[in-house]
Structure 1
Amino acid sequence: MAQDKMGFWSVVAVGIGGMVGGGIFAVLGLSVQLAQGGAPVAFAIAGLIALITTYAYAQLSTTFVSRGGTVTFLNKAFGTGVFTGSLNLLLWLSYIVMLSLYASAFGSYGAVFFPESMQFWAKHLLISGAIVGITGLNLLSAEIIGRAESWIVAFKLLILGLFIALGIRGVDPAQLQPDTWASPLAMVSGGMIIFLAFEGFELMANTAEDVHQPDRTLPRAFYAAVLFVLVLYVLIAGTTVGTLTTDKIVEAKEYALAAAAEPFMGQLGFKLVAIAALLSTASALNATLYGTARLSFIIAQSGELPDVLEKKIWNKPIEGLLITSGLTLLVANLFNVSSISTMGSSGFLLIFAAVNYANFRLYRQTHSNRWISLLGTIACIAAVTVLLQQTARTQPQNLWVVVVMVGLAVAIEVGYRRLTKRHIHLRSPQD
């Protein structure tokens, strides 16, 4: 095997690193608030939808070997019309929301080290400092954190494994019984609002050009990574709900995992999980900001964003990086975790519905079972429908931010085409 090509375990590490980023630290408390004792089931529902969607990604990645990933798949299936352009912009906006979630989690976990009277301001200072600092690192050298990424992933998996190993012995089965679960609609909604904790598997598609024997390696890597994370999340949720009352988890919602560790790991466990969260969210922020700036570059190359974003300085898409960081600063500081999670999960569910349908349309080229991808399309649409219905009933203000996000993607695409008449073209795998 060529030394410069990625093998099975390297690709799996990309997927696990992308999924076990800041998501689980940020959304666990929110999931428990919605699903209550059924939080493990909520995570399992979200994981199963992600697992079905990995089939489409595995088939498309091995057929259209490209660093463009999702953008390439949508362009191949639907052409370069307003629909595809809007979806690509929605993907970019959804990643900005993900960045905001990571920054918010960084601020929440970092604030616990400050006196309670200072925590509100400390949180927002840490959010802003993390975004500005990581942006600076990307301007200078993203490799500073990148070199330590494998150690950070290993450390957070070690801490999460220790959390499960020590905590599972003290789980009270009564706190996981069906009579502690929320209603079925709230359970599904709880699974969908934390769906963005799984979305990182999408990053594996962007490695296709760098993978040794992608037709064999990528499918196995996709399934292995998603199954591992699905089991990990269910065990974490079960341990949390089984050892700490729902009221206490909700009270510590934004740093729930650290609070859940304290009963059986003590104050040291609380601090260890908080430190793991800080490292994890910082590394996820770095990797996602690096990738999102390049996503804006790829979309600009296809003509769906202004060509200024296609320019590189110091071999970096500086304009895309700065615009992405600026929008992240606004979203992370102006919206709460619930709003951010609703926006992010809705955006990715819509994108994944489109990717599933893309594989359904291209099944002859991808040699796929089209009915699996049709099932994935229906599951994603049904999931986002349930999420939005539950949001409209319980937090209608969050529904409007989703409508604005989707509407913004369409408005930018339509307005940009009409104003500039810029030519839209498909990217080749070599671009």
Structure 2
Amino acid sequence: MSSDADKASAPASSKKPMTVLQASFIGVGAMVGAGIFALLGAAGAVAGSAVWLSFLIAGAIAGLQGYSFAKLGSSFPSGGGMLTYLAKGFGEGHITGIVSWLFYMTGAIVAAMVATSFGGYASAVVTDDDPVWAVVFAVLLVLVMTALNIVGSTAVARVQSLIVKVVLAILSLFAIVTIVNWNPALLNPAQYPGVREIISSVALTFFAFLGFGVITFTAKDLPNPVRQLPRAMYLALGIATAVYVAVSLGVFGTLTAEQVVAYGATALAEAAKPTLGQAGYVLMVITALFSTAGAVNASLYPSTGMTRHLAEVGQFPTVFGRQIGRRAPVGLVVMAILTIFMIVALDLNSIASLGSAVALLIFSAVTIAHFRTYRETGASLIILIIALTATLGTFVVFTMTTLVNEPKTAVALVVILVAATLLDFFWKRARDRGSAGYSRHTESDSHGT
């Protein structure tokens, strides 16, 4: 059951509880915005016109993890989300601490990557692809969404619901129109690459599902998380998988795989042209702006409850449990600053696969932790074993294929793993020293009296 600390972690501004649909839309917004617009070109370069199959397999793997998270969430609802589940299995030691830092940093990386995509689209519309303005638009988006999260989870849920409804409506129209007019020959299975290439592409397309983990952090805002969290999880994954498969079928049934790769992030807009004309192109660009904005909003959302919870249990410095000006959570502000730094200072295109690699490791760690509590959650041990095997298997294939060809991503993965380990080590060392000093001081005071 949730603790008093978890209940207290809910923002004071959240006057109305979150609904199942709103919670699922936070996940859908994080998934759809982070994936479909940026991934089609990269996935098409590996899997060709079989990308729809890669999305389907990635959705199945995410569904297995979603089953695990839903069981954990209904048993241990908390503002700490999946990091609470990790602690239930491993305790509040170094494993939980390192994974917590990894999750926090990965959230900033994903937010920065999606904000950069927004900046690119906005710059293309307003300034004819000026790279400086692309950075400016990306930073402005992060600032606006940070302010929205400071207002409270109710505002986040309402804005996210509006964004997701618009995005889903337009993507559904796009999928229907393109599938009705597709060229079946472009999707001929005889042209599909080998199984290894398709599995390698699954690791890329799994990036499009990273956002479903955000739903676990809505437990603090749901009136009945035991029943509602699993529903929100399954609904979000079902919607995202259906959208990804339908959209990829429409795109690769309209354009050749070579054209999709060449168009890259604008492949959806180009695929809309044959049936919807220039208006279709503009419509998809607008959708991309809405979608990426929603993904940044959803990526920032967990930082408040997560860091407050981690500060309370001693995994993060206590400053992360405080507020600036009695309004802005420190965890959210630090996340925003880290995101903006990455936007300005890093070549995010060169580490586009980093989020997937780290997320696969984090999700695997949570599932391993679940093995220690599955009797308490009532989860099927067989399904958990399948989930872990599928997730780790995808990571291994990803390491042997993508990372070998992307040395910058491999280096970035090592750097973030080392950074998380060092942060956890030095913080816990400082925390323990402070606790020991406080104990000695208290003991001397008692002897003195």
Normalising by structure 2, we get a TM-score of: 0.86
**d(CA) in 1 for partners of 2:163, 2:419:** 35
In structure 2, relative to structure 1, the CA distance for the partners of 1:44 and 1:337 (3 Å cut) is farther
Task: Report if the CA contact (8 A) 2:51-2:201 is conserved.
Answer: yes
1:28 maps to 2:35: no
Question: Deviation digits for residues 144-181 of structure 1, max 9, x if unmatched?
Answer: 66543322211111100110111112222222223433
**d(CA) in 2 for partners of 1:253, 1:221:** 31
In structure 2, relative to structure 1, the CA distance for the partners of 1:327 and 1:186 (3 Å cut) is farther
1:420 maps to 2:406: no
Residue aligning to 1:111: 123
In structure 2, relative to structure 1, the CA distance for the partners of 1:149 and 1:313 (3 Å cut) is same
Task: Report if the CA contact (8 A) 1:98-1:344 is conserved.
Answer: yes
**d(CA) in 2 for partners of 1:137, 1:224:** 25
Task: Report if the CA contact (8 A) 2:149-2:156 is conserved.
Answer: no
CA deviation after TM superposition for structure 1 residue 8, in Å: 4.4
Residue aligning to 2:447: none
Residue aligning to 1:427: none
Question: Deviation digits for residues 81-124 of structure 1, max 9, x if unmatched?
Answer: 111110111111111111012202201222321565x4333322
- Secondary structure at 1:20's aligned position in 2? helix
Sequence identity percentage: 32
- Secondary structure at 1:22's aligned position in 2? helix
Residue aligning to 1:63: 75
CA deviation after TM superposition for structure 1 residue 131, in Å: 2.3
Residue aligning to 1:310: 321
**d(CA) in 2 for partners of 1:423, 1:90:** 24
5-14 or 352-361: bigger deviation: 5-14
**Stretches of structure 1 lacking an aligned partner (at least 5 in a row):** 425-431
Task: Report if the CA contact (8 A) 1:25-1:277 is conserved.
Answer: yes
In structure 2, relative to structure 1, the CA distance for the partners of 1:145 and 1:296 (3 Å cut) is closer
Aligned pairs for 1:277-288 within 5 A: 277-288=288-299
Residue aligning to 1:201: 212
Aligned residues: 421
Task: Report if the CA contact (8 A) 1:167-1:264 is conserved.
Answer: yes
Task: Report if the CA contact (8 A) 2:214-2:299 is conserved.
Answer: no
Task: Report if the CA contact (8 A) 1:360-1:371 is conserved.
Answer: no
Residue aligning to 2:199: 188
In structure 2, relative to structure 1, the CA distance for the partners of 1:139 and 1:57 (3 Å cut) is closer
Which of the residues 274, 290, 295 maps onto 1:263? 274
Aligned pairs for 1:240-389 within 5 A: 240-336=251-347, 338-389=349-400
Q: Which amino acid aligns with 1:261?
A: A
Task: Report if the CA contact (8 A) 2:178-2:275 is conserved.
Answer: yes
**d(CA) in 1 for partners of 2:119, 2:330:** 26
In structure 2, relative to structure 1, the CA distance for the partners of 1:113 and 1:11 (3 Å cut) is closer
1:223 maps to 2:234: yes
**d(CA) in 2 for partners of 1:423, 1:242:** 62
1:91 maps to 2:103: yes
Task: Report if the CA contact (8 A) 1:100-1:340 is conserved.
Answer: no
CA deviation after TM superposition for structure 1 residue 212, in Å: 5.2
**Stretches of structure 2 lacking an aligned partner (at least 5 in a row):** 1-14, 436-449
Task: Report if the CA contact (8 A) 2:64-2:387 is conserved.
Answer: yes
Normalising by structure 1, we get a TM-score of: 0.89
What is the CA RMSD across the aligned residues, in angstroms?
Answer: 2.5
Q: Which amino acid aligns with 1:270?
A: Y
**d(CA) in 2 for partners of 1:80, 1:147:** 34
340-349 or 250-259: bigger deviation: 250-259
- Secondary structure at 2:395's aligned position in 1? helix
**d(CA) in 1 for partners of 2:337, 2:221:** 31
Residue aligning to 1:429: none
